[in-house]
Amino acid sequence: MWTSRSLYVLALALALVSPALAQEGPAPVLLPDCATSCARQAFMGGLCAPDDLRCICTDPVFQLNVTTCTTVSCTIPEGLAARNASLTSCGAPVRDRTGSLTSALWTSVGLATFFVIMRFGYKLLASTAAPVGLDDWLTLATLVFGVTAAWVHLFGSIPNGLGKDIWTLRPDQITEFSAAFYHSCWTYFLASALLKMAMIAFFLRVFPTPGVQRLLKGSFIFTGVYGGAFVITALFQCIPIHHFWTGWDGLHSGSCANANAISWANAIGGIALDLWIIGIPLWQLRYIQLHWKRKVAVVFMLLVGTGVTVVSILRLQSLVAFATSHNTSWDFYNIAIWSGLEISIGIVCACLPTLRLLLIKIFPRLGDPGNRFKGNYAYYGKDRSGNSGNSRGHQRSKPSIGNEVNIVAMPSPSLDQDSVAYGPNYGRTRETDGDEISLVQLRGV
């Protein structure tokens, strides 16, 4: 995990500073012996006097000389202690953004939990036409692992220094922080894959035509394998496994895979999968005959669903710092923020269809007027005569109360392979907005 001892130390020989100067500045912090020796060598160069704190804190050549020496002479824990002593003596401010991180994580968890409760509450209590399906259970599983990742940060990473400079932490805190971050990585990979699978499972219910079903099922299997591969890689990226959180000090033997390469591969692959998953229903809408108001609503909802993709793209900027970070407890702050937002916003987007149904249940006037007095017809393709599948071969009576539609079956024309054929068993059908399938209603498929 730690590949360089370059700590950019501003080491000061506090033991050599006069008592009067020490009283004027902040309370002195003792340097490790290796850093004290390096400071003495730097003073011998004549650049700064031992009692000239301003020169010691600001002279770049003096700082470079001390840094070069401590990099060679000190262990990583000693180098971190030297940096902390240096900055404290120079009066550098102590940075801490744990408060904003805690607030952001609690907000993300609360928002995602609310939408999942709303989704299951509607289906279990308010609607008999919307059974709990695979997509619902996958969304719930996403929430479980997303909350787990946030919980690890809230009660593991943050108490041990996430959001603070690493040189202000004790060695045991760095180890605990690294262990917590290890668990947040694989839980994020798992939650991200489950979220994508939940979206695909939803589209499997909405688009039942055989060709689209095969495409979606293939995407579902691929996403499962893709996500599982990254979870396994994250779990076993170090040999031994505990080297992920014990190897930071350079005192333990072991090796780790390139964590930066793993993170970038997962991020870029995830964005590509998101675009593919959203692209399938957007492409199919070209062939579905819906009232234009309903089609606009569906397109808008799908485009809002790309919000998770936007967050995934914005998250890439945090991986740039991850690649070269020597201050992981500070730089991993952005990764924790963006990863939590990505899962939370993804869950919200996955629950938008159910939110629409709930709003229609509460405010019936929000229902689609385009289907209020029309049968639910949606066709793929055209018949061989070149006509699109409108109402040819069918006669409809005037709708009765309750949006029931009487359909009289007539001889149907021969249809292409991808066309929708209506069978002979037509009766009275009732339109409903009680299920997400009503977004794109396909009869006789």
Residue 223's pLDDT band, with cuts at 50, 70 and 90, is: very high
Tell me the C-alpha distance between 318 and 333, whole Å. 9
Q: Which of 33-47, 190-204, 383-397 has the highest mean pLDDT?
A: 190-204
The strand order across the sheet containing 404-409 reads: 394-396, 404-409, 428-430
Q: What is the pLDDT of residues 348-377, one digit of tens each?
A: 988 988 888 888 888 887 665 544 434 343
- CB–CB of 236/255 below 8 Å? no
Question: Among residues of the chain, what percentage have pLDDT more than 90?
Answer: 37
Is domain 98-362 given the CATH code 1.10.3470 in the classification? Answer: no
Regarding pTM above 0.85, the answer is no
Domains of the chain, residue spans: 14-89, 98-362, 371-445
Query: Residue 264 corresponds to which tokens in the numbers above?
Result: 């970038």
Query: Binding site for heme: what residues are annotated?
Result: 52
386: left (phi over 0), alpha (psi -120 to 50) or beta: left
3-state secondary structure of 408: strand
pLDDT at 427: 36
Q: What is the pLDDT of residues 380-398, one digit of tens each?
A: 444 434 444 444 444 444 4
Place of tokens 């000190």: 74
The answer to whether the Cα torsion of 167, 168, 171, 175 is positive or negative is: negative
Candidates 202, 270, 267, 266; CA nearest to 230 is: 266
Question: How buried is 426 (Cβ within 10 angstroms: 0-12 exposed, 13-18 middle, 19+ buried)?
Answer: middle
Strands (E) across 215-300 are located at 238-239, 255-256
Residue 16 has pLDDT above 50, yes or no: no
Residue 197 has pLDDT above 90, yes or no: yes
Least confident piece of the model among 4-13, 132-141, 384-393, 408-417 = 4-13
Helices (H) and strands (E) in the chain, counts: 15, 5
Tell me the C-alpha distance between 162 and 287, whole Å. 50
Tell me the C-alpha distance between 245 and 232, whole Å. 17
DSSP assignment string, 42-88: HHHTTSS-TT-HHHHHH-HHHHHHHHHHHHHHS-HHHHHHHHHHHHH
| Count of beta carbons in the 10 Å neighbourhood of residue 430 | 10
Phi, psi (deg, nearest 5) at residue 34: -65, -40
Q: What is the pLDDT of residues 114-131, one digit of tens each?
A: 999 999 999 888 776 667
Strands (E) across 252-409 are located at 255-256, 394-396, 404-409
Query: Residue 444 corresponds to which tokens in the numbers above?
Result: 């006789």
Q: DSSP secondary-structure letter at 443? A: -
- CB–CB of 112/343 below 8 Å? yes
- CB–CB of 379/145 below 8 Å? no
- CB–CB of 334/263 below 8 Å? no
Higher pLDDT, 46 or 60: 60
Tell me the C-alpha distance between 201 and 96, whole Å. 42
Tell me the C-alpha distance between 365 and 399, whole Å. 19
Tell me the C-alpha distance between 17 and 76, whole Å. 25
Candidates 163, 165, 164, 160; CA nearest to 177 is: 160
Strands (E) across 172-304 are located at 238-239, 255-256
Amino acid at 211: G
The answer to whether the Cα torsion of 364, 367, 370, 372 is positive or negative is: negative
Residue 309's pLDDT band, with cuts at 50, 70 and 90, is: confident
Phi, psi (deg, nearest 5) at residue 396: -120, 140
| Count of beta carbons in the 10 Å neighbourhood of residue 292 | 8
Least confident piece of the model among 145-149, 246-250, 304-308 = 304-308
Query: Residue 378 corresponds to which tokens in the numbers above?
Result: 């949606």
Tell me the C-alpha distance between 92 and 108, whole Å. 33
Query: Binding site: what residues are annotated?
Result: 52
Question: How buried is 8 (Cβ within 10 angstroms: 0-12 exposed, 13-18 middle, 19+ buried)?
Answer: middle
pLDDT at 8: 32
